[in-house]
Structure 1
Amino acid sequence: WENEFNLVFTNDLGRPLNRRTVYKHLKKILASIGMNDCYFHTLRHTFATLSLQNGDDVLTVKENLGHHSAAFTLNTYGHLTQAMRRDSAERMEKLIQTTVISKNA
């Protein structure tokens, strides 16, 4: 058993998986659930996008992805920020309206 990099997923001997093997299995899984073929790295981007869209803060996503800085994460996924700003503004508007209504009641 050789796992010098402390990997989670290894071959039977503890060594890194061959990328072609991983891709071959990914294609089978995607086909079995009716999804189009995609690269493994696409799943990483999908994870990051969904995390940010569903309220995870940038520092959490940065850590989950292993990025060296939050700035890198923001630069990579900056296209999401406009929609996130709009959603934030809508949430704040609801909060303000709720607070004003509560004070006036």
Structure 2
Amino acid sequence: MQRRAVLKDVKTKSSNRIKVISDYVLQILQDRKNKQQIVQQNLGCFNKDNDLVNCTDDGKPIEPRNLLRQFYRLLEEADVPKITFHDLRHLHATVLMALGENAKIVAERMRHSRVQVTLDTYSHVSNEMQRKSANRFEDAILQN
């Protein structure tokens, strides 16, 4: 059974949201969109219906299986361990927590209903943050 890309509305109103991204990622996406428009014009394709950035040259959604092939190829080229596509979500949250980002911000980015869900899910990072905090406290006390 082959999966196919299907465009549909989100399940709930709260699922329809703006995802804030970095200026760097925004620039990459804008550059990609501009290149796609040039390719589509050269091919004579003017498929504006989907308005996708991650799509085939003619503007159609990428088949999920092809997207995974591209993803795994990029992981191999980058010489990093193979992970699932969904693992990117956990990687994002884990790195933010390890950097000391406010748990409320991480919870909002993950669309968790409560901050406690985020803290419970990423408690291993919280423990590392606790250790670092204890060491900073000790350093401050011992230096005085």
Deviation at 1:32, TM superposition (A): 0.9
Deviation at 1:10, TM superposition (A): 4.7
Q: Does 1:66 align with 2:140?
A: no
Q: Paired residue for 1:82?
A: 127
Distance of 2:82 and 2:132 partners within structure 1: 31
Deviation at 1:97, TM superposition (A): 3.9
Using structure 2 for the length normalisation, give the TM-score. 0.54
Q: Which amino acid aligns with 1:67?
A: H
Runs of 4+ in structure 1 over 6 Å off: none
Deviation at 1:9, TM superposition (A): 4.8
Q: Which amino acid aligns with 1:87?
A: K
Q: Which amino acid aligns with 1:35?
A: V
Q: Paired residue for 1:26?
A: 71
Q: Which amino acid aligns with 1:29?
A: L
Determine helix, strand or coil for the equivalent of 1:40.
Answer: coil
Q: Which runs of 5+ in 1 are unaligned?
A: none
CA deviation profile, 1:32-70 (whole Å, cap 9, x unmatched):
111232211112212211111111121111122222221
Q: 2:139 aligns with which of 80, 83, 94?
A: 94
After superposition, where does 1:21-60 map in structure 2 within 5 Å? 21-60=66-105
Count of matched residue positions in the alignment of Structure 1 and Structure 2: 93
Q: Which runs of 5+ in 2 are unaligned?
A: 1-48
As a proportion of its length, which structure holds more helix? 1
Distance of 2:115 and 2:104 partners within structure 1: 6
